[in-house]
Amino acid sequence: MNEFFQSKIFEITSEQLSDLFPLLLLSFGFALSVIGAGLKLSSKFFKIIGILVFSLAITTWSFTFLEADSVVLGLHITHFSRIVGALVSLFALTSFVLFDVSKRYANRPEWLALLILAVMGLSLLPASHNWISFFVFLEFFSIPSYILAGYDTNRERSLEASLKYMLTGAFASALLLMGIALVYLCSGTVDYSSLQGHFPSHILSTLALAFLLVGIFFKMTIVPFHFWAPDVYQGAPMGVAAFLAAGTKLSIFVSAALAFSETEFYLRNDLMNFAVIAGTLSILVGSLLAFTQRSFRRMLAYSGTVNAGALAPLMVLGKETLSSGIFFLFVYGLTLALILSAFSSLLKNRNLDANGDLDPEELNLKDSQQSKFQSFILAAGLFSLAGIPPLPGFFAKYWLFSDLWAQGYRPLVMWALLGTLMGVAYYIRIAGKLFFAEKRSVII
């Protein structure tokens, strides 16, 4: 036992300690939130702790962006993992502040502890160095996410969302674990670097890659593993939906891209074929279903499936195209948080549950007259998601589609453009109902 703790894995230099500092901050914040929950402290305490912990995590991650890659306690801390840590903390801070969760759940302050755990899991995932740690960190953030999705226990839809998310997530995790087992069976290792050039090409290895993609595509809400997303988007508390939609996609996208790059799986045609087919289906199915929705939050869920479809091939291509995907998900995450925050305010002004839902057809000119600022933010956010210039969403989509075009996936870009055009149609329809009165025919 003593020899184990004296091994080099526990030797930490001052430079390596700076890489661990954001995680130590999050751990300290988790401990404070648990103690505060036990002592039943006021909601103001949790609000201060949440804002401080996430703000300091963002700052400390940002200061280490340009530092060299390091290996500390078995974690591979890279430039990309630091970016993910900072952005995930930013998404958590945005949701925490915009949706004022500390006040809403004043009698149930465990919310903050669960959110910090989810942020830690999402931040650790890109630092994985083998498929086992990938699976462990995936479950690290999944378990608190299941609880957060059903945290609004007064609403039946919230409990239903949590149950569906947990059951389908457990099934996807089992398939991912089966894929990892098959990877080990084919090569005798699950370490990323050891798999380079040592992964055979036969039917069993293809099956292993298929199972790996099922687990990853489930979290990315890529067709045909997207069915849980509309229920979670609609049933989960508004802040949770905003955080999960942005943080989960970003962390999984970067982590999978790094894993496929370091294992050299991205060189395999079967992996790329899976990704292109699933991406194309996601764009088509997501666009059609989003267009027909009579629920604002479910429409946003299917819109997220469309966006994930364009990201699927980039995720498999490795490190070369990571920058455009990260920028796209950064813009998408902040835009979605603003949209849901503005929508929640509109629901409050109608004396409805702030975590509820509404048929987009029920929005009208009266909403914008009563809440001009919120309506403007909602419309601007929807136009940004649609990719209308000069909003940030346009530049994010342009960079993303340019990378896909440069890599030779031109048919997929054409389908993505078609999905974008359909998105413009249902986004503009919602904005039009907010700012323009309906013309009524007069019968004389």
Given a contact cutoff of 8 angstroms between Cβ atoms, the answer to whether 90 and 136 are in contact is no
Over residues 73-84, the mean pLDDT reads 81
- Is the CB of residue 162 less than 8 Å from the CB of residue 153? no
Confidence of residue 103 (pLDDT cuts 50, 70, 90): low
Q: What single-letter DSSP state applies at residue 191?
A: B
Q: How far apart are CA 60 and CA 88, in angstroms?
A: 13
CB proximity list for 166: less than 8 A, separation 6 or greater: 146
Q: Is the dihedral of CA 121, 122, 123, 128 positive or negative?
A: positive
| Tens-place pLDDT, residues 264-293 | 777 778 778 888 888 888 888 888 888 888
Q: Average pLDDT for residues 121-126, to the nearest whole number?
A: 90
Mean pLDDT of 109-133: 87
User: Mean pLDDT across the stretch 77-96?
Assistant: 87
Work out the average pLDDT over 36-53: 82
Other beta carbons within 10 Å of 260: 26
Report the SS3 class of residue 71.
Answer: strand
**pLDDT digits 0-9 by tens, 208-228:** 888 888 888 888 888 888 888
Cis peptide before 22 (omega within 30 of 0): no
pLDDT recorded at residue 2: 55
Where is 354: in which H helix or E strand?
A: none
Residue 444's beta-bridge partner residues? Answer: none
Tell me whether residue 217 is exposed, middle or buried, using C-beta atoms within 10 angstroms of its C-beta: 0 to 12, 13 to 18, 19 or more: buried
Q: How would residue 150 be classed by pLDDT, with cut points 50, 70 and 90? A: confident
pLDDT score, position 87:
92
pLDDT at 290: 82
Helix (H) / strand (E) element for 72: namely strand 70-72
Q: For residue 368, what pLDDT band results from cuts at 50, 70 and 90? A: low
Higher-confidence position of 109 and 240: 240
Return the SS3 of 57.
helix
Instruction: Give mean pLDDT, residues 94-110.
Output: 71
Asked whether the predicted pLDDT for residue 13 surpasses 70, the reply is: no
- C-alpha span between 329 and 225 (Å, rounded): 20
Quote the CA–CA distance of 296 and 39 in Å, as a whole number.
Answer: 39
Note the pLDDT of residue 443. Answer: 39
Q: pLDDT > 90: what percent of the chain? A: 2
Which stretch of DSSP H or E encloses residue 75?
strand 75-77
pLDDT band at 440 (very low <50, low <70, confident <90, very high): very low
User: d(Cα 285, Cα 222) in Å, to the nearest integer?
Assistant: 10
- Integer CA distances (angstroms), 134 to 111, 123, 177, 256, 345, in order: 25, 12, 10, 9, 38
Is the pLDDT higher at 197 or at 256? 256
Q: Are 79 and 98 in contact (CB under 8 A)?
A: no
In degrees and rounded to multiples of 5, residue 355 shows phi and psi of -100, 15
Neighbours of 281 (CB within 10 A): 18
Q: At 441, is the pLDDT very low, low, confident or very high (cuts 50, 70, 90)?
A: very low
Query: Mean pLDDT throughout 72-83?
Result: 79
Tokens representing 182?
Answer: 């098959």
Length of the chain: 444
Residue 270 CA: distances (Å) to CA of 207, 257, 266, 275, 417: 10, 16, 9, 9, 25
The closest alpha carbon to 301, from 392, 230, 398, 210, belongs to 230
Average pLDDT, the chain: 81
Pairing, β 70-72 against β 75-77: antiparallel
CB 253 within 8 A of CB 311: yes
Which residues, at least 6 apart from 304, have a Cβ–Cβ distance to it below 8 Å? 221, 229, 233, 245, 249, 286, 332, 336
Q: How confident is the model at residue 427 (pLDDT cuts 50, 70, 90)?
A: confident
Q: Give the residue, 366 or 90, on which the prediction is more confident.
A: 90
Q: Model-level pTM? A: 0.88
**So what's the pLDDT on residue 23?**
86
Higher pLDDT, 105 or 406: 406
